[in-house]
Amino acid sequence: MFLKKAFSAGICFLSLVTTLSCGFMTTSPKQTEAAGSWVQVWGDEFNGNSVDSSKWNFEIGPGPNNELQLYTPNNVHFESDPNNSGNKYLVIEAKRENQVYNGRTFNYTSSRLNTSGKFDFKYGKIEMRAQLPKGQGMWPAFWMLGSNYSQAGWPDCGELDIMEYVGKTPSTVYGTLHGPNYFGSTGIGAYHDTSDTISTQFHTYTVEWEPNVIRWYVDGQLYQVRTPQDLDGRKWVFDHNFFIILNLAVGGDWPGSPDNTTIFPQDYKIDYVRVYQRQNNDYEPAPAKNFIALKAAANGKFVTVDKFVGDHKLRANRDSASVWEMFEVKDLGNGKVALLSSTDYKYVSVKPDGSVYADKETVGPWETFQVETQANGKKALKNIGNNEYLSADLNLDSVLVANRPTASTWEQFDFVQK
């Protein structure tokens, strides 16, 4: 991975949370063939009239990440579900209003709640049903931090972002892991493009956090699976207790500031947060992944999907291979494979014009390649969608294309096991 600049795509924690008490689970997970069913162990339906102080703390003060809002305990209220009498939502409200805190004037207020010291746990299925706020500068999140942060510090304590959303990409949500040597904009994560109803309808945002594997879902649709293998030797810090955080930031490094299109107030409506754990502590065994790096015969460089360039194109221009140069090989049988880029957890996909992007969550013909081993032992990859070979064309600044009818040097690669 090539760290070029330090814009933040992750959340740093506030230092206002209190020290935690005991852990929730004490026994080690067993790995049996049949995982236990999920049983709810904690939750808040938010059907009352005030925030339950036995479950939640308010964090008061400024936020990290150059966020613009002041967090107060006053930017929450409860709203009735118009379609279900008896059901309510917790509403975190971002307001444009001036408040002075410790001599500093803030132009926006919002709220941030956590379960630190009140509920923390190791492993589980964590789910929120929510309708997200809308507009440039909005940054709602549903996430968790390692309970050991006061000893280990951030990011070594681990951060598991179940859902982040920024108003400038209104149809996209993000799920990310942060830890030692993978944090901020180099966190290990994925974006997931959804419908444009994120801000007008309720959706569920879920992770299944198990020993050595974490899965992310939106409305029950799986869009990312990460294991320690995904970290390319970095430390997995997700085997201890974590607590839950809900917040709505305004502005900051990642979303940028509100502009004259942003309408205030904005509401982050949360129907519920629920935590489940596997019955009898029987967790799913983590999947074994087959990671390779693609080394182009054209120039001896590794193929990358550079997150900072951000165009999801493949380029053969790296001297070494780390997370952004890793591809998970999905064996489709008969010598056919799909290649899942580790950068954003997206499949390599050929477009009708022969351009190549790592931007698909599902596999069809355009994401399928026939692997043909050449006489010199190198591999050529023939796309099934257009029957053309993948090429690291040195005349195209080493950007990969798939538009070659025959395989010569530029169409040959080594599969380097990661």
User: Residue 391, Cα to own-chain centre: how many angstroms?
Assistant: 30
Closer to Ca ion by Cβ: residue 45 or 282: 45
Applying the rule CB under 5 A, the residues between 184 and 243 that interact with Ca ion are none
Closer to Ca ion by Cβ: residue 45 or 372: 45
Contact in structure between 350 and 385 (CB atoms under 8 Å): yes
Distance from C-alpha of 43 to C-alpha of 398, rounded to nearest angstrom: 51
Instruction: Check whether the bond before 265 is cis (ω within 30° of 0).
Output: yes
How near is the Cβ of 351 to Ca ion at its closest, in Å? 43
Write each residue from 113 to 142 as x if it is in contact with Ca ion (CB under 5 A), else as -, in one continuous string.
Answer: ------------------------------
Closer to Ca ion by Cβ: residue 54 or 395: 54
What single letter denotes the amino acid at residue 25? M
How near is the Cβ of 270 to Ca ion at its closest, in Å? 8
Distance from C-alpha of 224 to C-alpha of 208, rounded to nearest angstrom: 10
Applying the rule CB under 5 A, the residues between 342 and 381 that interact with Ca ion are none
How near is the Cβ of 92 to Ca ion at its closest, in Å? 14
Please enumerate in sequence order all residues whose Cβ is within 8 A of that of 117, keeping only pairs 6 or more positions apart, or say none: 17, 18, 19, 20, 21, 57, 243
Please enumerate in sequence order all residues whose Cβ is within 8 A of that of 22, keeping only pairs 6 or more positions apart, or say none: none
How near is the Cβ of 251 to Ca ion at its closest, in Å? 29
Indicate whether 46 belongs to the interface with Ca ion (CB under 5 A). yes
Looking only at the bridges linking them, the beta strands covering 104-110 and 282-283 are unpaired
How near is the Cβ of 87 to Ca ion at its closest, in Å? 5
How near is the Cβ of 248 to Ca ion at its closest, in Å? 17
Cα distances (Å, whole numbers) of residue 402 to 36, 345, 356, 364:
45, 21, 7, 16
Stretch that binds Ca ion, among 55-63, 192-200, 252-260, 270-278 (CB under 5 A): 270-278
Q: Work out the burial of residue 299: count CB atoms within 10 Å of its CB; fewer than 13 is exposed, 13-18 middle, 19 or more buried.
A: middle
With H, G, I as helix, E, B as strand and everything else as coil, classify residue 231.
helix
Contact in structure between 275 and 121 (CB atoms under 8 Å): yes
Told to judge if 164 belongs to the known catalytic residues of this protein, a careful annotator would answer yes
Identify the active-site residue in 59, 93, 127, 159.
159
Closer to Ca ion by Cβ: residue 87 or 281: 87
How many chain residues interact with Ca ion (CB under 5 A)? 6
Stretch that binds Ca ion, among 34-42, 45-53, 179-187, 282-290 (CB under 5 A): 45-53
In sequence order, what are the beta bridge partners of 61?
Answer: 71
Closer to Ca ion by Cβ: residue 140 or 184: 140
Closer to Ca ion by Cβ: residue 50 or 395: 50
Contact in structure between 106 and 62 (CB atoms under 8 Å): yes
Cα distances (Å, whole numbers) of residue 179 to 16, 34, 286:
20, 30, 19
Stretch that binds Ca ion, among 26-34, 81-89, 197-205, 309-317 (CB under 5 A): 81-89
Identify the active-site residue in 67, 93, 164, 208.
164
How near is the Cβ of 309 to Ca ion at its closest, in Å? 42
Stretch that binds Ca ion, among 8-16, 47-55, 58-66, 319-327 (CB under 5 A): 47-55
Told to judge if 325 belongs to the known catalytic residues of this protein, a careful annotator would answer no
What single letter denotes the amino acid at residue 254? W
CA angle 359-364-365, nearest 5°?
110
Stretch that binds Ca ion, among 66-74, 80-88, 236-244, 371-379 (CB under 5 A): 80-88
Distance from C-alpha of 223 to C-alpha of 217, rounded to nearest angstrom: 6
Binding site for Ca ion (CB under 5 A): 45-47, 87, 271-272
The residues annotated as belonging to the active site are: 159, 164
